[in-house]
Amino acid sequence: MQELILVVDDEPKIVRLARDYLEKNGFRVTIATDGQTALTAARREKPDLIVLDLMLPQIDGREVCKILRRESGVPIIMLTALAEEVDQVTGLEIGADDYITKPFSPRALVARVRALLRRTKGEVKAPSVIRAGGLEIDAEKYSVTFNGIPIKLTPNEFKLLQLLASRPGQTLTREQLLDDLHGGASSIDRSVDSHIKNLRKKLEAESNQNMIETVYGIGYRFIER
């Protein structure tokens, strides 16, 4: 079945452009033009991925992203006219998996959608289950638990945890992690730090342990407690 993409933007031209190119490339598309409608559509339609504008009427994109992240791990690409790095980092910190700035190439949008969907589906096959103390990472079920309690992660958080936990004690550089996350696509270096920060909070909330150590100036490593 074709993947369903929810495009959320209050500019009709942007919606038409994104919808037309995504449909031409084999995706099904549903649309929303404000934050409240976006939340309703996401809950009802269960899209495979959401393209979410930052500036929206009723409920802005930041708040929509926060709400969605509390409810699901659906992949989110933040769409914004703001080119400042701080805005891009803010989007990533609240749970977006990637960002693209306006004006954008529709081909670039399609490429980002495809790349994020590939990552979400978990192309990394081995090991399928990683266990470290009370932590269990199941790639086939796409789930993480600690002592049997589920921990809800975004696709990028899951991928980072899987990469780090599969090589316990080994330091992975930011460049290595960024390349695995984005498949060589350009991204800002701080996006890894933002995802790691959110991942740590979620792991520590259940385990009361810091499983991911910072190797200053280099990257991160997973420590089995």
Residue 197's CATH number:
1.10.10.10
Question: For the segment 93-111, what is each residue's pLDDT rounded down to a tens digit?
Answer: 778 888 888 888 888 899 8
Can you tell me the distance from the alpha carbon of 174 to that of 11, in angstroms, rounded to the nearest whole number?
Answer: 36
Question: For the segment 202-223, what is each residue's pLDDT rounded down to a tens digit?
Answer: 999 988 889 999 988 888 999 8
Non-local (6+) Cβ contacts of 5 within 8 A are 22, 27, 28, 29, 30, 47, 48, 49, 50, 51, 113
Residue that is last in its domain, among 120, 147, 181? 120
Residue that is last in its domain, among 92, 120, 148? 120
pLDDT band of 28, cuts 50, 70, 90: very high
Can you tell me the distance from the alpha carbon of 77 to that of 98, in angstroms, rounded to the nearest whole number?
Answer: 5
The number of distinct structural domains making up the chain is 2
Non-local (6+) Cβ contacts of 183 within 8 A are 115, 118, 119
Concatenating the DSSP letter of every residue in 117-145 gives HHHHT----SSSEEEETTEEEETTTTEEE
Tell me, yes or no, whether 59 and 146 share the same domain: no
- Per the structure, the complete domain to which residue 210 belongs is given by 129-222
Tell me, yes or no, whether 133 and 207 share the same domain: yes
